[in-house]
Amino acid sequence: MPAGLDTPRVVEVSDLLREVIAAPDTSDISPEREKLLGALALDELTRS
């Protein structure tokens, strides 16, 4: 486990990231779209 990730954290997220995280739960999406949403979520997290 990476250093600093051994305890829970609260992270402030953008509106975009909130929607990207929720998207797979609210619609029937293709594996390709899910992959793209995951990449976008990781990109948003690294920029926050």
Q: Which residue type, as a one-letter code, is found at position 22?
A: A
34 vs 16, 28, 31, 38, CA distance in Å? 15, 10, 5, 6
- Residue 14's closest CA among 39, 40, 37, 48? 48
Q: What is the pLDDT of residues 1-48, one digit of tens each?
A: 667 668 888 878 889 999 998 888 866 888 899 899 999 988 888 876
Q: What is the pLDDT of residue 27?
A: 67
Q: What are the tokens at 37?
A: 């949403």
Q: Which residue type, as a one-letter code, is found at position 37?
A: L
Q: What is the pLDDT of residue 36?
A: 92
Q: Please count the other Cβ atoms lying within 10 Å of the Cβ belonging to residue 20.
A: 21
